């Protein structure tokens, strides 16, 4: 995964992958057939970790959605768990940097696209769907509203920027690392920001509508 992250799919040779794994090329081919097989194994590792991480969060979010008596605070808390779960998943693992680069190469088309196929077959679509339903319920809006959907993407994006710009942001914030304490601060700031935004969308105050759009 490190080599694919550093060099992309095309730049990582079978020989270099075997050397990094401490085996010879024939042994690598025996277990994985070819480079694409190794790449798929890496993608499966990332996707399985994502699914395992989000399964309990999705269950709790769905339970909140199913509860007609859930309070606005409970609805926001369920959304916050999904957002915080994304931060933990993207920022805390020891191999977070390798995952980030692996995902980035796929995002710009420097790979077979295996990872995103696996994520879309797993929990990722459900995370987005539930986040939309929770925000819509909290704000009293239609979950299908394209403006609302874009706003939700932007709220998740405020966490993703700490993954994509990890090194720069750690330096600018004067941190020595991005460990549990730092990630807790990121989550706190993100949730406070989301609460202000969502309260504005809920009351219709403090948020300007775009021409032809919804407030």
All domains of the chain, ordered by start, with CATH?
A: 2-203 (1.10.357.10)
User: Tokens standing for 78?
Assistant: 């369920």
Residues 61, 103, 48, 55: what is their CA dihedral angle, to the nearest 10 degrees? 0
Range in 15-29, 30-44, 52-66 with the lowest mean pLDDT:
15-29
For all residues of the chain together, what is the average pLDDT? 89
Mean pLDDT of 39-62: 94
Provide, rounded to the nearest whole percent, the portion of the chain with pLDDT above 70: 94
Higher pLDDT, 202 or 54: 54
- Rounded to whole angstroms, the Cα distance separating 88 from 31 reads 32
Mean pLDDT of 15-42: 85
- Rounded to whole angstroms, the Cα distance separating 133 from 150 reads 13
pLDDT at 111: 78
User: Tokens standing for 152?
Assistant: 């939700």
Asked whether the CA dihedral 39, 84, 215, 125 is positive or negative, the reply is positive
pLDDT at 209: 46
The pTM of the full predicted model, rounded to 2 decimals, is 0.85
Residues 89-145 pLDDT 10s:
989 877 888 888 888 888 887 778 899 999 999 999 999 999 999 999 999 999 999
Residues 98, 103, 105, 110: what is their CA dihedral angle, to the nearest 10 degrees? 130
pLDDT at 205: 53
């Amino acid at each position: 995964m490190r080599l694919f992250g550093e060099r992309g799919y095309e730049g990582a040779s079978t020989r270099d992958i075997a050397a990094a794994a401490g085996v010879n090329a024939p042994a690598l081919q025996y277990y994985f057939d070819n480079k694409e097989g190794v790449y798929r194994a890496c993608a499966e590792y990332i996707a399985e970790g994502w699914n395992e991480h989000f399964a309990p969060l999705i269950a709790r979010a769905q339970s909140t959605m199913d509860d007609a008596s859930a309070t606005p605070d409970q609805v926001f808390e369920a959304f916050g768990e999904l957002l915080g779960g994304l931060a933990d998943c993207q920022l805390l693992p020891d191999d977070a940097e390798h995952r980030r680069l692996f995902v980035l190469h796929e995002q710009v088309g420097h790979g077979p696209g295996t990872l995103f196929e696996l994520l879309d077959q797993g929990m990722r679509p459900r995370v987005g769907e539930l986040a939309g339903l929770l925000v819509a319920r909290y704000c009293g809006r239609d979950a299908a509203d394209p403006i609302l959907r874009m706003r939700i993407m932007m709220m998740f994006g405020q966490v993703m920027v700490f993954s994509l710009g990890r090194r720069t942001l750690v330096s600018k914030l004067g941190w020595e690392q991005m460990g549990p304490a730092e990630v807790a601060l990121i989550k706190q700031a993100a949730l406070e920001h989301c609460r202000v935004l969502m309260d504005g969308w809920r009351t219709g105050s403090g948020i300007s509508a775009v021409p032809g759009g919804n407030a």
